[in-house]
Structure 1
Amino acid sequence: MQCLRATLCRRATRRFLAHKLLVRDFTIAIDGPAASGKSSTARALALELGFGYIDSGSIYRCATLLALRHNITDIGTGATDLIELINKSSVDIKFQPSTTRSSPNLITGRLSVPDVRILLNDEDVSEEIRKPGVNRLVAKVASDGEVRTAVLGIQRALAKAAETRSTDVVDKEGVVSVPGGVVMDGRDIGTTIFPNAELKIYLDASAMARAIRRWDEMNSSLKQARAKAPVAAADSAPVANERAPAEYPSVEDIARELEERDYADINRQHSPLRIAKDAVVIDNTTMTFEQQVYSIADLARDRMGLERKHDDL
């Protein structure tokens, strides 16, 4: 009798999970300050769970790039023009073949992190929206209430499209293709965009830890760009070397910029950065990348009634 009861319970759990997936009602919201690892964590998490992924911050970066390209530096007086540009523009987020991230402190080795390409009006702007000019202006763009309202529509449309993509769920009875959930990261996802998300995460880290990560990211992008560029003449090399420090600030400068960004995000009038009441706070200052991704994945599995996979971490 007990064995039969356990079997019926497992079948009921599977039916419950299948229903949740079919109605696409499992959303993971990841919030936190700049450079806390939200984007890379969310991408790896989406791949781990078979969910769709939306980088909400990239949409504000695209809006900032539009402002720069149209010489709108005073967001207050130029908000109307910028909103018109946003409403006329299309933003898409595309998963690319996975890259890997090293894990020197964990035996599991390397974790796949899908590359994501950001398309603005069908133009790949993935690198351009990460440049220092956009970094310096994006906080002002994101703090404008009218801009946030315009971006909100794009965020929810992308999330709906991501949720309706098919994904393969594997269980003992085989592979079933069903619509999956969605992972979205940003600064107000759990408090404003998806206040009813089934799982809310707040990722945090010290300003210096975040600055080192941002510097590594920028330096890696610079090396990749130089590797792809044609070999320059010998007499032009010193000029490129002289420009690099101005384009890519020091770790200390980045830490100061991040603290300024934190202050602006926390104190802005519209949708400020704050921790949702029901969010799980994770300080990843000393965590490996795998530890933070797998711990969130198992939290999600708990709430979906699935078996945990990484209790050995």
Structure 2
Amino acid sequence: MSGRPFIVAIDGPAGAGKSTVSKILARRLGFALVDTGAIYRCVALMARREGLAFNDDAGLEALLARVRIHFQVQGEDNHVFLGGQDVSGEIRTPDVSMGASQVSSRPVVRAGLLQLQRRLALEAQSGAILEGRDIGTVVFPDADAKFFLEANPDVRARRRFEELFEKGVESSLEDVLSDQTRRDAADTARTVAPLKAADDAVRVDSSALPLSEVVQTLEEEIRRRMGSRAPAR
């Protein structure tokens, strides 16, 4: 067994609870947290700021050579920094969410960010949790533990609406559900790294489960696998 950190992959659609669950697990386990969705959101935000079309492959490739992203846990939040600026709130707006879905479908973007995502995880001292849509299938197909969180579309939309409301973002539940439906379709239908559960992922439907039970289910499985993992040599 190599000496690499313990890698946990958590995939699933928007609103399934990936971000909240991943944040709590990272804190409880003492693991680094890599929000891969936030990385694509940063690319979309940077492209929008520079007036680049989300399908401008040449422009996006040049942009990727300049993008600088890092994460920093502050209190109970995992903050996202783009070029030294905290963009944690700005990248969560509906416009940037749709932009992230579009840029993530571009092969040049996925290829350009693949090594960044892997590096951020492998630099962790003990372990890393990566959350996104293709972690267990593309980024770390050999992850030590893989999970796929899912939930009823109406439940997911309600969660997203409440999140936006708490942040002061004006929207309606109908608009959130409509945006979510479009993004789900785009994420699952794209030819490059589509959203899907890895064959060996543990699937958890969080529609009717309290957050504590979802976290406990994943944590128990992770600790079980950590206990059975052969020691590094």
Q: Same fold (TM over 0.5)?
A: yes
Contact 1:66–1:82 under 8 Å retained in 2: no
Contact 2:9–2:136 under 8 Å retained in 1: yes
**2:202 — aligned with what?**
280
Report the CA distance between 1:54 and its aligned residue.
0.4
Contact 2:151–2:205 under 8 Å retained in 1: yes
Q: SS of 2:129's equivalent? A: strand
**1:66 — aligned with what?**
46
**1:132 — aligned with what?**
94
Number of equivalences: 228
Report the CA distance between 1:132 and its aligned residue.
2.0
Q: Which runs of 4+ in 1 moved over 4 A?
A: none
Matched residue type, 1:82: L
Which deviates more, 148-157 or 263-272?
Answer: 148-157
Matches within 5 A, 1:51-200: 51-73=31-53, 75-76=54-55, 78-98=56-76, 115-161=77-123, 163-164=124-125, 180-200=126-146
Contact 1:30–1:200 under 8 Å retained in 2: yes
**1:5 — aligned with what?**
none
Match of 2:180 among 247, 253, 258: 258
**2:155 — aligned with what?**
209
List per-residue Cα deviations over 1:48-105 (Å, max 9, x = no partner).
11111100000000000011101113x33x221122112212100001112xxxxxxx
List per-residue Cα deviations over 1:243-295 (Å, max 9, x = no partner).
xxxx6321122112111111111110100011101000000001111111111
Q: Greater relative contact order: 1 or 2 (C-alpha under 8 angstroms, separation 6 or more)? A: 2
Q: SS of 2:215's equivalent? A: helix
Which deviates more, 213-222 or 183-192?
Answer: 213-222
Report the CA distance between 1:154 and its aligned residue.
1.5
Report the CA distance between 1:47 and its aligned residue.
0.9
Q: SS of 2:196's equivalent? A: coil
Q: SS of 1:58's equivalent? A: helix
**What is the alpha-carbon root mean square deviation over aligned residues?**
1.4
Provide the C-alpha distance between the structure 2 equivalents of 1:55 and 1:286, rounded to a whole number of angstroms.
24
Provide the C-alpha distance between the structure 2 equivalents of 1:260 and 1:132, rounded to a whole number of angstroms.
12
Report the CA distance between 1:157 and its aligned residue.
1.7
List per-residue Cα deviations over 1:19-49 (Å, max 9, x = no partner).
88xx234211000011211111111111111
Provide the C-alpha distance between the structure 1 equivalents of 2:157 and 2:170, rounded to a whole number of angstroms.
12
TM-score, length-normalised on structure 2? 0.94
Contact 1:33–1:273 under 8 Å retained in 2: yes
List alignment gaps of at least 5 residues for structure 2. 229-233
Contact 1:35–1:211 under 8 Å retained in 2: yes
Matched residue type, 2:68: S
Q: SS of 1:305's equivalent? A: helix
TM-score, length-normalised on structure 1? 0.70
Matched residue type, 1:129: I
Match of 1:27 among 7, 14, 30: 7
Provide the C-alpha distance between the structure 2 equivalents of 1:129 and 1:268, rounded to a whole number of angstroms.
22
Report the CA distance between 1:126 and its aligned residue.
0.6
